[in-house]
Structure 1
Amino acid sequence: MSSPRRAQPEPAAPAALPEVHLDWRGPQHWSDRARECRHCGVTTPLRDDEGKPAHKVCAERALAAQQADLADRYRGAAPAARAQR
């Protein structure tokens, strides 16, 4: 007699955000005037690709969260609230 087949568990959604590394070595990512970061509100002389004030780490976290939400939507799952690192 054969044993009953077990149902395969659903793959778990990734708990952590994907790694994103931006290259902001160019002069277009620097300004002489510090402004509030668009993500955290702390002042920074750094600028994103759109010229808006942003810390590199804040921009990387925002992009990682965006990628994770898009991946969730692609899989048909509702975007989960993710903890920031």
Structure 2
Amino acid sequence: MCLLTLVDLLLTHYGLSLGVIQEANPLLSKILDNNPTPTVIGVFCFVSTACLFLYSVRHRISWLPSALRLLLVIKLGVIGLHCRWLMKIALL
């Protein structure tokens, strides 16, 4: 999950810098506009910490595996959207 988040962050930053995409999260959009590098590092650290915490409680929360699978599907969908715009600009 952390690796997918890092790929998402880097591709989002790249797409924003090219002007070919827009950040869907309004809060993250404003922060990325002001300080992209610290934002990428901060979000990655937050997600990494959250993943470590969730791993430590994985046996105590019965619905956690299902929720994480759903999050994985969503993350893969976002990566798919990145691949779509990357293919479009590669063909130009």
Whose Rg is larger?
A: 1
Q: Which has the higher helix share?
A: 2
Q: Which has the higher strand share?
A: 1
